[in-house]
């Protein structure tokens, strides 16, 4: 029970870093009846613990599910004081200023507690805790977003928070190997990691995440998992909005989703689809396709030497 409402069929939006999941999350957050959160401290603390050291979740069994369930319940609480602790990215999804009111508890919640019927979360890197989420919420519905890994890597290379995970003081390959979070799976990759270029490390993270997405597709019933392509999200938002509404059995506004597709500089309305052609150097492109070429082809993306 959260805010006096029974949590049924919570929705979790998953994807590799910079998959475009935040665009879909924004549409869900602004749909009637939904209370979606992202980046709340309690959820991040637990999910990153499980992501960076999967043995924690495996050793604790159902205890891990309880911990994650409690973290989500705390994040979903609605009050002026609780909402004042929301991170900027969560407030921005609701169309609020990223900075909370100067006086804690003086602002208004982003949602009416009495109107909430469904709960959702789109915190980054939830894909690494999908198994625990399913244990915590057996009736959960997952929406996973797949994007061309080359575009994702281009965005990751421009994101200091993503690159920070690769710093020697933070990367935990010495204690966790294989390492799903960093995408390092064999000893050759492990030995090359210290001198690997940033594009290689980003490609490994993307590859590892989409492999987890493929595993999730095999494990979860169709009625509990919808896979969305970012390219369809930004080029066919109305059609995808209708598919999403049917899947969630909820009123997702197709007009809202269309309006949220960002117009890029120069009038390009594709949301950055294929922008890797201008943003990656030839060397970076070769590195990404060498690391993740198999997954790119499996997902239907043509490699540069196929064009």
pLDDT per residue over 131-183, tens digit each?
Answer: 999 999 999 999 999 999 999 999 999 999 999 999 999 999 999 999 999 99
Lowest-confidence region among 22-26, 90-94, 196-200, 236-240: 90-94
**pLDDT band for position 62 (cuts 50, 70, 90):** confident
**pLDDT band for position 265 (cuts 50, 70, 90):** very low
Q: Is the pLDDT of residue 266 over 50?
A: no
Ordered domains of the chain (ranges, CATH): 11-302 (3.40.50.300)
Q: Quote the pLDDT of residue 163.
A: 97
Q: What is the mean pLDDT of residues 115-130?
A: 94
Q: Quote the pLDDT of residue 113.
A: 78
What's the mean pLDDT when you consider all of the chain?
88
From residue 45, alpha-carbon distances to 60, 72, 89, 181 in Å are 16, 11, 16, 15
Higher pLDDT, 86 or 174: 174
Q: List b or e across 216-229, with b for residues whose CB sees 16 or more CB atoms inside 10 angstroms.
A: beeebeeebbbebb
Q: Quote the pLDDT of residue 114.
A: 81
Higher pLDDT, 59 or 277: 277
Q: Quote the pLDDT of residue 100.
A: 63
DSSP secondary structure letters along 122-184:
--TTGGGGHHHHHHH-TT-EEEEEE--HHHHHHHHHT-HHHHHTTSTTT--TTT-SSBTTTTB
Residues 6+ apart with CB under 8 A from 33: 115, 116, 117, 118, 250, 251
Q: How far apart are CA 82 and CA 77, in angstroms?
A: 7
Q: How far apart are CA 212 and CA 203, in angstroms?
A: 14
Rank 51-65, 184-198, 239-253 by mean pLDDT and report only the highest: 184-198
Q: Quote the pLDDT of residue 270.
A: 44
């Amino acid at each position: 029970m959260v805010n006096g409402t029974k949590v049924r069929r919570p929705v979790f939006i998953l994807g590799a870093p910079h998959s475009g999941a935040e665009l879909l999350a924004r549409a869900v957050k602004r749909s009637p009846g939904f209370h979606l959160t992202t980046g709340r401290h309690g959820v991040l603390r637990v999910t990153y613990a499980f992501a960076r050291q999967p043995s924690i979740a495996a050793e604790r069994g159902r205890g891990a599910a309880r911990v994650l369930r409690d973290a989500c319940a705390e994040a979903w609480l609605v009050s002026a004081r609780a909402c004042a602790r929301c991170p900027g990215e969560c407030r921005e999804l609701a169309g609020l200023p990223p900075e909370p009111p100067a006086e804690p508890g003086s602002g208004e919640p982003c949602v009416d507690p009495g109107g909430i019927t469904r709960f959702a979360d789109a915190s980054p890197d939830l894909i690494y805790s999908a198994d625990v989420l399913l244990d915590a919420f057996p009736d959960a519905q997952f929406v996973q977003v797949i994007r061309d890994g080359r575009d994702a890597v281009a965005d990751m290379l421009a994101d200091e928070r993503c690159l920070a995970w690769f710093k020697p003081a933070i990367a935990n390959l010495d204690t966790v190997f294989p390492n799903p979070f960093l995408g390092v799976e064999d000893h050759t990759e492990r030995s090359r990691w210290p001198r690997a270029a940033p594009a290689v490390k980003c490609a490994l993270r993307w590859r590892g995440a989409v492999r987890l997405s493929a595993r999730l597709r095999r494990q979860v019933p169709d009625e509990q998992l919808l896979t969305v392509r970012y390219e369809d999200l930004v080029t066919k938002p109305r059609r995808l909005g209708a598919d999403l509404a049917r899947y969630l059995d909820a009123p997702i506004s197709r007009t809202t989703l269309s309006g949220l597709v960002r117009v890029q500089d120069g009038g390009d309305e594709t949301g950055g689809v294929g922008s890797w052609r201008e943003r990656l150097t030839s060397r970076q492109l070769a590195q990404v396709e060498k690391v993740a070429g198999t997954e790119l082809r499996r997902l239907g993306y043509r490699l540069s030497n196929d064009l």
